[in-house]
Structure 1
């Protein structure tokens, strides 16, 4: 049964394969401002080397700490991976607080499921498992956003109790209780 886990080197091979799937669907280009896109550009060329992957895992875990270095405008975030045995299925990031930009697009929680694992309920289960973690970080109600045409993501958010607030530009905004 899949479970949330802090990033781990145990799923190295499967993680690299998942990132290749994301690349094959066009992720990682200069116009891709998602978590996956940014990390593919910054770290992707080094993930195949076990020591470099371990350093990436350590960096990702450190981003939950308040005093860790991060780009201007970024906030502490807890990354969790959805794994089953040694298989990487997806991930999410819980941003500990909102900036004005995250309030518009991005929200508290962002998630991705690898292409070969989609349409099996992983995103819904992963978000459900992450809500108590968000609550433990002091987030009473989590803001989640999705593109207006992303029906699958909207269904994931609504299945987890998301209450539609509004549409801003091409983004739908929902509040999801964490307790």
Structure 2
């Protein structure tokens, strides 16, 4: 049964296979795409992968170094045993960009495991984590033409506030 976990080296093989799927798809403008740009191919080495995992977990800490435009972020991986299925990021606070475009929560599911209900289950499972961080409601955004994400967000109780440019902005209760 899939579950949200903190990033772990136990899914390294499956994680790297998923990253190859995102590369083949042409992933861009996401946390996953940024991970690929910065870390591949070095993370094929188990020690470098372990360093990457620790860095992802450390991003949740207030005192971790980060670019000025980044905020503390808890990243969780959606896994089934040793199979990496996707990731979800919970941004602890909103800066101007996140308020307008990115939101509190962003997620993606590996391409070969889409349309299986993982995104909805993952977002539902992440809402208590967001509440524990003091977030209620959570802003979740998606592209205006992303029918799959619109359905996921609405299935989790998202209420559309508005559409800004190409982004739909929803408030999702975490309680």
TM-score bracket, normalised by the shorter chain, equals over 0.9
Does 1:133 find its partner at 2:129? Answer: yes
* Stretches of structure 2 lacking an aligned partner (at least 5 in a row): none
Distance 2:42 2:107 in 1: 22
- Per the TM alignment, residue 34 of structure 1 is displaced from its structure 2 partner at its CA by 1.2
Q: Which residue of 1 aligns with 2:58?
A: 62
Distance 1:172 1:33 in 2: 16
- Per the TM alignment, residue 140 of structure 1 is displaced from its structure 2 partner at its CA by 1.0
- Per the TM alignment, residue 46 of structure 1 is displaced from its structure 2 partner at its CA by 1.2
Q: Which residue of 2 aligns with 1:144?
A: 140
Instruction: Please point out which of 108, 118, 122 is paired with 2:118.
Output: 122
RMSD over aligned Cα atoms: 0.5
| Secondary structure of the corresponding residue to residue 70 of structure 1 | coil
Q: Could you tell me the TM-score, scaled by structure 2's length?
A: 0.99
Q: Which residue of 2 aligns with 1:98?
A: 94
Q: Which residue of 2 aligns with 1:89?
A: 85
- Per the TM alignment, residue 33 of structure 1 is displaced from its structure 2 partner at its CA by 2.4
Alignment of 1:1-179 (within 5 A): 1-27=1-27, 32-179=28-175
Distance 2:35 2:125 in 1: 24
How far does the alpha carbon of each residue in 1:33-81 deviate from its partner, in whole angstroms, 9 at most, with x for none?
2111111100122121100000000000000000001111100000000
| Secondary structure of the corresponding residue to residue 40 of structure 2 | helix
Runs of 4+ more than 3 Å apart: none
Tell me which moved more, 10-19 or 32-41. 32-41
Q: Could you tell me the TM-score, scaled by structure 1's length?
A: 0.97
- Per the TM alignment, residue 109 of structure 1 is displaced from its structure 2 partner at its CA by 0.2
